[in-house]
Amino acid sequence: MDSIKHSEDKMKYLKILARQYPSVSKAATEIINLEAILNLPKGTEHFITDIHGEHEPFLHVLKNGSGAVKRKINELFDNSLRDSEKQTLATLVYYPERKLELISKEEEDLEDFYRISIYRLVELCKYCSSKYTRSKVRKLLPEDFSYIIEELMHEHRKSEHKEEYYKSIVETIIDLGRAKEFIIAVSNLIQKLVVDKLHIIGDIYDRGPRPDIILDRLIDHHSVDIQWGNHDILWMGAASGEKTCIANAVRISTRYSNLDIIEDIYGINLLPLATFALHNYHDDPCDEFMPKVTEDVPTTEISLIAKMHKAISIIQFKLEGQIIERRPEFEMDHRLVLNHIDYDRGVFEKDGVEYELLDKNFPTIDPKDPYKLTEEEEIVIDRLADSFRGSDKLQKHVKFLFAKGSVYLKANSNLLIHGCVPLNGDGSLMSMEIGGEKYSGRRLMDRMEAMARVGFAGENRQDPEKLRGMDMMWYMWTGKCSSLFGKDNMTTFERYFISDKKTHKENMNPYYTLREDMDICKSIFDEFDLDFEEGHIINGHVPVKSKSGESPIKAGGKILTIDGGFSRAYQGKTGIAGYTLIYNSRTLQLVSHEPFTSAEDAVINERDILSTTVLVEHKTQRKQIKDTEEGKMLQEEVDELKELLYAYRKGWIKVKGQ
């Protein structure tokens, strides 16, 4: 370590570190603390993807930790509680407020129920916190009951010296009428302790009704990261004011009769679009634009939504043509569709073949300049852009996605990425030219992410870099080199206007077939500096057709695709209602979920989501914190503190305190 003395930069750093640890004892104490933490078991990680606005099943899976809470209850109370008691306890942990409200109306001896529940919940809390330091648990404690919970968790209830003390605390909580609040606080703490880290692997938005509830819950979560999905980047682009993204986001919301999220939740004014649609498509039945979800929607409203759907779709196709023409590097000329229509004959030409259009009414398109917006369309999209930029709640949610999110994440030897690593047919990394330089693989993803951040954060709306970043967000939604999209094409126009399904085909990136080749799989691991023996790639994006026998476990267990259909729109194809992953210190477990009924059913009938767990990996030796990404950072701190200690003892740095 004598080399430390000769490194001027190192000595400067150690002197700064000495301000925080001004004595030998303080530095030594912190080293002892960190070394102990490094040898604790790794915390449990929870992986969820493709939530698509389905807030109720998501919140339930979050509350039950994909079955982790129930497993803890079964382990702790294996022979001491009946199954019905275990189920009641689990429901109390998941929905403490609602369950207590129900029990208060049914239970004859409420105080006795409170007493029994408090004892059981505290024991469960102790059990779930056993692999954490007191300091870490303390940070998670609810402010109102932090001291009381800590006392109960660290006192031995059956100790003859403390039995009365323990009992007195519980009785006083009940006597003061605080049992309900205490049970709620402990239940929420257990939810936090069961899962140390939450990973959301993309697609919070679209299709389902309440992505805002999901994001509000994630904002309050104690430890979460997000890997952006293609539907997320679409809304992020829309929040930036990128008009093509806005048109796509509104179109999808009309397609699924989900305009409440735009109007009521985000406060975005759709009246200009509705007025425009009624004026221009008044006599048009818009049959091809009828929303896919129509239950609980009045007939008159369905007709209006269909007209709005068509109006915003035409605006979208025009805007996409404009962006493709100004960004030739996107290489998307094949998506210039409006100039391939013979408007007099009502046919569309593609690859030398003519197709009759299902809808031939285009009152706002000038055949001589099909991508030019009419004056009315300009007003509609400008007002929508102002509303998207001006929505405080949307801006809050998107800022959170940028703060906690990224295109991909390396976490404890695993690569988390929503879609794919774009490959060519021969297995080589797909490349894209940006600013005169070619990018591929990890560098391409990093470049796209950096551009997206500039597109959102840039203040000057006319800044060319901001405009490029905004356009890049649209490309990330739909471009062939985007790891979030993972296809060669998005045939939105053809699906609306052409009956021949051959024209609807969207080819998946070769990644989805080549990933089974172990050499190519290993090359992807190498691209991201991942340990092939220890690591995995965890994807979402493509629903796994479980009912057809498809497995989410790919490439001999090296790649896990966990989109199993949280979205109801996909459950007919998948046969289940989602996959999640649980990765603790010993095992990697894949959990498949049956459809969730409702939170009300879960509370009243104590009906949990029926889940099936498959063991993907089991380690005979527990993985410790020192084996994780967090552990590597802590080890660096230990090494630096040891250098500081050495400098103190050598007299190179003056000790300022004792």
Least confident stretch, 47-51, 76-80, 332-336, 456-460: 456-460
Find the mean pLDDT for residues 514-520.
94
Structure tokens at 382: 């400008």
How much is the mean pLDDT over the chain?
91
How many H helices and E strands in the chain? 27, 17
Give the single-character DSSP code of 515. Answer: T
In the chain, what is the greatest distance between 2 CA atoms, to the nearest angstrom? 94
Residue-level pLDDT at 5: 61
- Residue 210's pLDDT is 94
> Within a 13 Å sphere around the CA of 473, how many CA atoms are in the beta-carbon half?
33
Determine the angle formed by the axes of helices 146-153 and 110-129, rounding to 10 degrees: 70
Structure confidence at residue 574 (pLDDT): 64
- Tracing tokens 């896919």 back to the chain, one arrives at 292
Q: How many residues does the chain have?
A: 658
Q: What count of other Cβ atoms lies within 10 Å of the Cβ of residue 160?
A: 7
Q: Distance between terminal CA atoms of the chain?
A: 24
Nearest to 638 by CA among 9, 14, 33, 116: 33
Cβ neighbours of 334 (radius 10 Å): 13
Task: Assess contact for 554 and 515: CB atoms under 8 A.
Answer: yes
Instruction: Decide if 452 contacts 469 (C-beta within 8 A).
Output: yes
pLDDT at 293: 77
Confidence at residue 155, expressed as pLDDT on a 0 to 100 scale: 64
Q: How far apart are CA 543 and CA 105, in angstroms?
A: 43
Report the predicted TM-score, pTM, of the whole model to 2 decimal places: 0.91
Q: Which of 163-177, 292-306, 347-361 has the lowest mean pLDDT?
A: 292-306
Cα separation, 202 vs 219, whole angstroms:
15
Mean pLDDT along residues 278-284: 95
Residue 18 has pLDDT above 70, yes or no: yes
Instruction: Return d(Cα 90, Cα 312) in angstroms, integer.
Output: 46
Note the pLDDT of residue 351: 87
pLDDT at 547: 72
Q: Amino acid letter at 186?
A: V
Among the residues of 220-340, which ranges form H helices? 230-240, 243-255, 260, 271-280, 299-326
| Confidence band, pLDDT 50/70/90 cuts, at residue 573 | low
Which burial class, exposed, middle or buried, applies to 261 when counting CB atoms under 10 A from its CB (0-12, 13-18, 19+)? buried
Torsion, CA 636, CA 638, CA 640, CA 642, rounded to 10: -150
CA angle 433, 246, 294 (to 5 degrees): 130
pLDDT tens digits, one per residue of 284-338: 999 999 998 777 778 889 999 999 999 999 999 999 999 999 999 999 999 999 9
The stretch 498-515 carries a mean pLDDT of 95
Would you state the pLDDT for residue 158?
A: 59
Quick check: 513 and 554 in contact, CB under 8 A? Answer: no
- Residue 581 phi/psi, 5° resolution? -120, 140
- What residue segments make up the domains of the chain, in order of their start? 2-39+635-650, 67-194, 230-497
Cα 176 from Cα 192, distance rounded (Å): 26
In terms of C-beta density within 10 A (0-12 exposed, 13-18 middle, 19 or more buried), how is residue 621 classed? exposed
- Report the alpha-carbon distance of residue 251 to residue 583 in Å, rounded: 38
